[in-house]
Structures are given as C-alpha cells and as structure tokens.
Amino acid sequence: MSGGDMAVENATGRIGRYRWLICGLLFAATAINYVDRQMIGVLKPTISAELGWTETTYADIIFWFQAAYAIGYLSFGWVIDRLGARIGYSIAFAIWTLGHTLCGFAGNAFQFSAARFLLGIGESGNFPAGIKVVSEWFPARERAFATGVFNAGANIGAVVTPLIVPIITIAFGWRMAFVITGFASLVWLAAWIAIYRRPREQPRVSTAELAYIESDPADPVERIRWGRLLRYRETWAFAIGKFLTDPIWWLFLFWTPDFLAKTYHLDLKTFGPPLVVIYLISDFGSVAGGWTSSKLMKRGLTANRARKLTMLGCALLVTPIFFAQYVTSLWAAVAILGIATAAHQAWSANLYTIPSDMFPRAAVGSVVGIGGTAGAIGGMMMAKFVGYILDATGSYTLIFAVAGSVYVVALACVHLLAPRLDRVRVE
C-alpha cells in the first residue's frame, strides 16, 4: 500500500471494496458483448454453407458491423458523457441485445448486415461507458488494473462462445443460438439498473473508500464538446493507436475460427478447445497488462514510462504471429495465437487508460469515443482487406505480416504525439 493509500485509510478507516463490484458488472457486460460479437465467427462455416456466403460476403457483413461501431462509438462517447454511465450503458446494452437477437431471424446477407449494423451501434457503447465508470470509481493508480480486469471479460466471452454456441446450434440450430443468448443476457441489464450509481450517490460505499476514490486532484466539471478535443495531439495519439491496432483484434476475433478450420481441418464440434485455450491465454494478458503498468507506477515510474514500457513489451510479443501459418502442429499455432491475443489485450488495457491519464474526467468518454471510431474505421478497412486477400490467394501470409508489425508502428505514433502523457488543459 502506498503512502497516499495509508493516509486515506488512517484518516477515514479501512478502505472498502465496493468499487470492485462495479468492476465486476463491467466485466460481465464485456463478456456478454463478446459472446454476441464473436458468435458470427464461430458460426461462419455453418451459416456460410446454408446461405452461400463467399469470403467477400462475410467480410462485407463484418464491414457493416464495424461501420455502425464507428458511428456509434463516437455518438455513445458523447451520450455517456452527458447522460451518465447508468442510463447511457443501459441504452447501449438494450440496442445491441436487440440487434444480436435479430440475427436469428435473418434470411439473407442483407438482413444479416442490417442486424449486425444494429448490434454494432449498441456494442459501441460498451467501452466508452466502461472507461467512464473506471474514471469515476477508481483513482488513477488503479485505473489500468481495473480496465484490464473488466477488459478480461472480452476473453471470457470469447472462451464461453465456442463452448456453448456449438451445443445450442447442434441441439436447436444456429438461429436459436442467437435468440437464446440474446434473451439470457437481459439479466445483466436488470442488475445494472438496480445496482449502479456514481460513488457519492451509492450509500453502500464507505467514507474511506469514497475518499480513496476521490484522492486524485479534482477535475473541471465543465462538459467538453468532442470537436474541441480534436485540436489536441493527445487525442490523436490515442485515436491513431486505436486505428492501427484495433483491426488486429477484429482479425483475431472474426477469422481465427476460419483459420483453424481451414489450416487444421477443424469444424463446429472440434475447434472449441483450441479457441478456449487461445482466449484463456489472452484473458491472462488483459489482467497482466494492467497489473504491470500499475505495479511500475507504484514503484515510482511515471504513468508515461510505465504505460509505454508495458506497451513496448506487448508490441514485441505480437510479432511471432507471422509464423502461425507455417507450423504443422495445431497446438503450436494455438500457443502463438494465444500469446499474440494476450499481448493485444495487455496493450489495449494500457492504451484505454491513456485518455484518463491525460484528460479531465468530463472528456474521457468523448476521447475514448473518438479513438473507438478510429479503431472501427481501421477495422472496416481490415475486413475488406482480409476478404479480398483470402478470395484472391486463400493465404494468411500478408494478413499475418501486417498483424505482426503494426503495434511497433502504433507505439511510435503514440510516443511522437504524446511524448510525456502530460495532463491536457482543455480550454
């Protein structure tokens, strides 16, 4: 425990842990988010066979999901900064659950694209809301770890999907898989509405914990238009980092089942265990990335050095992905993919924390929204690129070459635009 933490505890009593219940709610929502998001990747071979999709058709459906994600990410950052996380998150969750459920009723690629578009609009609210909640409920020295914990829900969702979706699909068909998972997720919405309040509005938060949460210097409370934020290099540092690296996560999420199926001749019944291992490894990376930078800060490093050293390590760990297609052993490929996805999640936990390091709380949701939009635009470009390359060559060589090199480029851009991660004085 740091000296500041001890001072808070000595002055007000033992620090409580209610903030971690809030983090648990974020974790659960992110897991649901990724179940809904990843299902199309797991079911791609099944749906493609029934509806006659080509690689380009599938890529186009992913493209429209990400187009909606780009639009919604920017919009929901604005909405959440103004309505607050409780209402904003509820709206986002309801929209994405509706879009996910409607996928079960789609009869052609156009209808599927429309349902996934609605899913993308809603899912775009998940991370702006989550980062906003972390900035409200955690002091700066815990934010990267808290972000890593709730971001780990993405990997749990990715682990659960290949386990439960094949079972539902084999028993009831792929359409009911969307309907059943959609209705089941509404339990979270009821819990969120019942539990979530801001720290000062939640009577279950102790005086000591509230003092700990608010132990950072006060931020301005004026709401800030996102257009003003585009004037700052720090906004672009985050946005370019997202633009370059988010597409690689979309690649892992939407095409890993396809890669395993084609390279190692797996199907709906057999690619579950490899996917589970990949995302369990990535789950570790999400928490470890946030923990590492937080630990370095507690040892005296600045946020700038702690975040960037951690991100450099992550960038280097992704590079072996280029060799995944050349190994003959399925489990060797799984290890390479697992380390790459873990490195991305550790990278993401730190990149997502940068806006709260640099900007006042009133602007965090909007900055995250701008970055998320940039990441989704990059994902749209990646979807078109992957579909074209696979239809033209059937090979992942060029695709994995891009995936293995882009993180180093992204870190260089972040450092050039925000060399010290200084606090921004928004005028």
- What are the domain boundaries of the chain? 3-417
Q: How many CB atoms lie within 10 A of CB 231?
A: 11
pLDDT of residue 45: 87
pLDDT of residue 76: 79
Summarize pLDDT for 295-349 with one digit per residue, the tens: 999 899 999 999 999 999 999 999 999 999 999 999 999 999 999 999 998 999 8
For 280-316, letters b (16+ CB in 10 Å) and e give bbbbbbbbbbbbbbbebbeeebebbebbbebbeebbe
Candidates 357, 321, 325; CA nearest to 260 is: 325
Contact criterion met (CB below 8 Å) for 106 and 112: yes
Query: Distance (Å, rounded) from C-alpha 128 to C-alpha 273?
Result: 32
pLDDT of residue 222: 59
Query: Distance (Å, rounded) from C-alpha 293 to C-alpha 288?
Result: 9
Query: Distance (Å, rounded) from C-alpha 67 to C-alpha 259?
Result: 24
Q: How many CB atoms lie within 10 A of CB 218?
A: 8
Query: Distance (Å, rounded) from C-alpha 88 to C-alpha 81?
Result: 8
Report the Cα 268 to chain-centroid distance in Å. Answer: 25
> Which regions of the chain are under pLDDT 70?
1-13, 217-224, 427
pLDDT of residue 333: 96
Say which residues have a Cβ less than 8 Å from residue 174's Cβ, sequence separation at least 6: 43, 46, 47, 50, 104
Say which residues have a Cβ less than 8 Å from residue 45's Cβ, sequence separation at least 6: 257, 258, 261, 267, 268
Query: Distance (Å, rounded) from C-alpha 128 to C-alpha 96?
Result: 15
Candidates 129, 137, 148, 138; CA nearest to 311 is: 148
Question: Is domain 3-417 annotated with CATH 3.40.50.620?
Answer: no
pLDDT of residue 141: 80
